[in-house]
Amino acid sequence: MSNTITAAPVRHKNTDTNMFLPKMAKINKVEVFTERETWYEMEYLDKSSLGHTPGQFVEVSVFGVGEAPISISSDPTVEGKFELCIRNAGVVTNKIHQLKAGDTVGIRGPFGTGFDVNKFKGKNVLFVAGGLGLAPLRSLINYVVKTRKEYKDVTLLYGTREPKEILYKKEVEEFEKNKDINFHITVDRGAEGWTKNVGVITTLFPKVKIDDPKNTIVAVCGPPIMYKFVIMEVLAKNIPAENIYISLERRMKCGVGKCGHCQINSVYVCCEGPVFNYAQVRDFKEAI
């Protein structure tokens, strides 16, 4: 296990002739998180590492059903295995939800450009995760928590619709206890026994103190509707647009910049994204 990862994220460059050929992986562990989301730990049958950077994604194949793009949610420095948190949202993901430990899937990737962790080093870090948006951010969050002393203040805001939709419950409890990070959680609708914040994620912003906005880097991931409101709050704290990173959801069919489904204006999200600098995409009308 090493603590170093690729300095700057690079576009996927396939070096062989098999960019459409998935590599077989085995599901090691399965944990049902919520009604809609299930967590998987997988490893390649040949024991090789996935070799991803935080924010990248893979195409998961269930042969005979199809492929779906899924963001990688595990710490990139952990070698030999990787984790995915998958929402049952379509034909392929529905089939994946029926799989058990020991079953195999096909994996292509990792694809896309993730977060450049070097941009976060030495800065205050603010994570804003909405719903399943925690999954792609978790790769980066875990890396930052592991290398905690390299950053100044670390804040994590997490919101879901209801308490029963909270993902990574054990880790969320650890975040709450962890004195090295400022963790705030909210739900849109409370439930019996819920004592924490109720309201959309922007209601957490008054709790966030940003001392040095110019030296604060923000990473946002959530449903499209969330971005506009969260970015308004972030900008209102005088954090420059260039310091905001967002991860955009698209239906990448090929993952290699050809099929066109993920295109926003002239940009292929599967290659140049899914992580974008906000200043880079704010004028793209179709972005969010």
Partner 1 sequence: MHKAMTRAELALFAENLVKTNVVYGVVAKDKQFGWDRILDHKEMVLDYPTTISSPKKYFLPPTETLIEFKLAANPDPKFVNHSQEAILFGMHACDLYATSMLDNAFEDTNKDPNYLEKRKKAILIGVSCMPDPDCFCNKMGVDDAVHNEAKISKKEALYDLFFTNIGHKYLVSIGTKRGEDLLAKYAKPAEASKAELDQLKVVEKKRVESFTSEMKQDVEQLAKLMPKTYNSSVWKEYADKCFACGTCNLVCPTCYCFNITEKVKLNLQEGSREREWDSCMLPQFAEVAGGENFREHVAERLRHRLMRKGLYIKEKFDKSGCTGCARCYRNCTADISIVEMFNRLKEVTENE
Contacts with partner 1, residue ranges (CB under 8 A): 11-14, 17-22, 24, 61, 63-68, 87, 89-90, 93, 104, 106, 223-224, 249-251, 253-254, 256-261, 263-266, 271, 285-286
Nearest partner of 51 among 104, 4, 96, judged by Cα: 4
| Residue 268 beta carbon to partner 1: minimum distance, rounded to whole angstroms | 9
Task: Identify which of residues 20 and 189 has a Cβ nearer to partner 1 in the complex.
Answer: 20
CB of 221 to partner 1, least distance (A): 14
The Cα 262–Cα 244 span in angstroms is 21
Rounded Cα distance, 55 and 9, in Å: 10
Q: CB-wise, 151 or 227, nearer to partner 1?
A: 227
> What is the spatial distance between Cα 197 and Cα 115, in angstroms, rounded to a whole number?
29
Q: How far is the CB of 24 from partner 1 (least distance, A)?
A: 7
> Which is closer to partner 1, CB of 206 or CB of 260?
260
Complex with partner 1: residue 67 or 153, whichever CB lies closer: 67
Number of C-beta neighbours around residue 11 at 10 A: 13
Please state the closest distance from residue 255 (CB atom) to partner 1, in A.
Answer: 9
Closer to partner 1 by CB, 19 or 241: give it: 19
Q: Is 215 helix (H, G, I), strand (E, B) or coil?
A: helix
Least Cβ distance, residue 66 to partner 1 (angstroms) = 5
Query: Nearer Cβ to partner 1, position 66 or 163?
Result: 66
Question: Which residues of the chain form beta strands (DSSP E)?
Answer: 23-32, 37-44, 57-62, 66-71, 82-87, 104-111, 124-130, 154-160, 182-187, 197-198, 216-221, 244-247, 263-264, 267-268, 275-277
CB of 173 to partner 1, least distance (A): 28
Find the angle CA(22)-CA(27)-CA(29) to the nearest 5 degrees: 155
Closest to partner 1 by CB, 110 vs 143, is 110
Three-class SS of residue 197?
strand
Residue 36 CA: distances (Å) to CA of 86, 167, 235: 8, 10, 33
In angstroms, rounded to a whole number, what is the distance separating the alpha carbons of residues 85 and 154? 23
DSSP structure string for 66-120 = EEEEEEB-S-TT--S-EEEEEE--SHHHHHHTT--TT-EEEEEEEESB---GGGT
Shortest distance in whole angstroms from residue 63 CB to partner 1: 4
